[in-house]
Structure formats: C-alpha cells, structure tokens
C-alpha cells in the first residue's frame, strides 16, 4: 500500500487521472472500474482534458460502475449511470456497449448481480479500480459490517450514507434506501486500486483505513491487503494520520499488454 499526500484537490485529481491514463495507454483492452460521488469529479475532468487535448483514446476501454440505486432508471438525473454519463462518458470516445453498470430496475436483481460478476470475468478482470471513501469508511455501497469477501449484491444503505447523499436530492426522504453494489471481494480482485479522499471531513475515515486494523466495520481497511493500492489524499484528509507519507508515487514502468 502506498499513501501519497498532495497539497490540494486539484493535485490529487491530476495524479489519479495520470495513473489511469497510463493504464489506458499500456493495455490493449483496458478495463476500468469507476465510482460516483463528488470526489472523483476532478479526476474525470482531467481525463476528459487528456482525451480532448492530448488524444487519450478510449475506443478500446471497457468500464464497470461500482454501484447503482435500486429503483432508479439509468436516465434518472440522480442515478449513478446518469452521473457517469454526464461527468465522463459523453465527453470521450468510449463505445456505449463497453460501458457496464448495475441495473437498479432489474426484474431479478439476484440474477443480474451474478451476470455482472460474470461480465467482469469475461472482459478479463478490472485493471484499475478507482475508489472513494465514505465518512463511515464504506467503499462503493459496502457499509460497515459488510463481509470482506462479499460479491455484487443488493445492500441496505446506512443512515449516515443516506444523510451524506441527501445533498443530491431535494430531501433525504427521496434518497433510495437500497443499492446494488460491487462487493468488497470483487473490488480487491482488481489488479490495481486507487483510493481518493479530500477535505477534513474524510480525515477520520482515512486514518482508520490506512493506520487502523483491518475490520469489516471499516470496509475501506481491506485496501491494506491489496498488493497494488495507491491512496491519494490532500493535506486536510491526511490531517489525522500519525506517520509521514510520500508526496509522489513510485514510478512503475508499464509495457503494452492485453
């Protein structure tokens, strides 16, 4: 696990985008995992810039969204799919059939979740999974108490998560109570993890995720077990860490692979 502390949100966004762009350039058929939420927006803006100004090619890329609210159609303006379309996909040359997202209105959610897991395997597995972290330490919609070996499934959202996400809805009552989420066991099978956090409001969660014991009560601690995890935080989010961490990640040479 490598922890990188940057000055501000702009710096963490640019570094994350560069790391993802390097994966896209180094793979013949890159497979990326993406989250929603406010934290990755800066990364998506930088990836769009790299596409438009530097020709970053997305035509061979496949993507998998981490989660989706149960009951929301993809065109709903608060669905996770809509978020990704508006903040990234419509601005790049990715093929629409290469975009994979949980279906919040699937008739048989259990069967759909099995299909989603199979699709990840079929594409060759996720090369790099981008992650955010909730104030209670959740990753994707894997709330505290989630099994560290869990797979894609339906989850009940914690009150804290509903409260945090209420800012995207007119009232907290409109926030869906259930979501389909990629499981923790699925997430850590990605070849590389990049976890982002900014602002002091994430300092407690980041401190526990990086320096605390691995526990299902803080799902993000599972990233400590992954051989290629990079956690990129700004100084406010790093304010409760007790050790000093680097300002730049190791430079890893990559070669063109399938």
Q: Give residue-wise pLDDT tens across range 15-70.
A: 999 999 999 999 999 999 999 999 999 999 999 999 999 999 999 999 999 999 99
Q: What is the pLDDT of residue 253?
A: 45
Q: What is the pLDDT of residue 257?
A: 52
Q: What is the pLDDT of residue 159?
A: 87
Three-state DSSP class for 99?
Answer: strand
Let me know: does 167 contact 129? Beta carbons within 8 Å: no
Three-state DSSP class for 25?
Answer: helix
Neighbours of 137 (CB within 10 A): 23
Provide the edge-to-edge strand list for the sheet that holds 153-156.
Answer: 67-69, 178-181, 153-156
Verify whether residue 136 is a known catalytic residue: yes
> Chain-wide mean pLDDT for the chain?
94
Q: Considering the candidates 11, 46, 67, 68, report the single residue annotated as catalytic.
A: 67
Residue 158 above 90 pLDDT?
no
Verify whether residue 138 is a known catalytic residue: yes
Q: Considering the candidates 136, 142, 165, 198, report the single residue annotated as catalytic.
A: 136
Dihedral of CA 4/65/189/186: which sign? positive
Q: What is the pLDDT of residue 258?
A: 54
Three-state DSSP class for 65?
Answer: strand
Residue 252 above 80 pLDDT?
no
Give the Cα separation of 47 and 44 in Å (integer).
5
CA nearest neighbour of 12 among 244, 199, 242: 199
pLDDT tens sequence across 133-143: 999 999 999 99
Domains of the chain: 9-126+134-186 (3.40.50.1360)
pLDDT tens sequence across 73-128: 999 999 999 999 999 999 999 999 999 999 999 999 999 999 999 999 999 999 99
Q: Considering the candidates 51, 65, 138, 234, report the single residue annotated as catalytic.
A: 138
pTM of the complete model: 0.93
Give the Cα separation of 119 and 136 in Å (integer).
30
Q: Considering the candidates 117, 143, 192, 234, report the single residue annotated as catalytic.
A: 143
Verify whether residue 100 is a known catalytic residue: no
Q: Which two tokens stand for residue 214?
A: 């691995």
Verify whether residue 248 is a known catalytic residue: no
């Amino acid at each position: 696990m490598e922890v990188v502390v940057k000055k501000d949100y702009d710096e963490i966004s640019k570094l994350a985008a560069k790391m993802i762009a390097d994966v896209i350039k180094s793979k013949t058929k890159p497979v990326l995992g993406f989250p929603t939420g406010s934290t990755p927006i800066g990364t998506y803006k930088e990836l769009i810039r790299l596409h438009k100004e530097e020709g970053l090619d997305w035509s061979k890329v496949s993507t998998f969204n981490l989660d989706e609210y149960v009951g929301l159609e993809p065109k709903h303006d608060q669905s996770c799919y809509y978020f990704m379309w508006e903040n990234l996909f419509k601005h790049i040359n990715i093929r629409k059939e290469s975009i994979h997202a949980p279906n919040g209105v699937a008739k048989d959610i259990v069967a759909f979740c099995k299909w989603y897991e199979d699709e990840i395997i079929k594409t060759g597995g996720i090369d790099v999974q981008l992650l955010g972290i909730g104030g209670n330490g959740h990753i994707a919609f894997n709330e505290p108490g989630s099994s560290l070996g869990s797979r894609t499934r339906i989850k009940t959202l914690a009150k804290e998560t509903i409260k945090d996400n209420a800012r995207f809805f007119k009232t907290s009552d409109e926030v869906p109570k259930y979501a389909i989420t990629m499981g923790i066991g699925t997430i850590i099978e990605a070849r590389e993890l990049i976890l982002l956090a900014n602002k002091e409001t994430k300092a407690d969660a980041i401190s526990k995720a990086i320096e605390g014991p691995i526990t299902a009560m803080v799902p993000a601690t599972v990233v400590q077990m992954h051989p290629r995890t990079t956690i990129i935080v700004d100084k406010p989010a790093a304010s409760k860490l007790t050790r000093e961490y680097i300002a730049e990640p190791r430079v890893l040479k990559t070669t063109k692979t399938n």
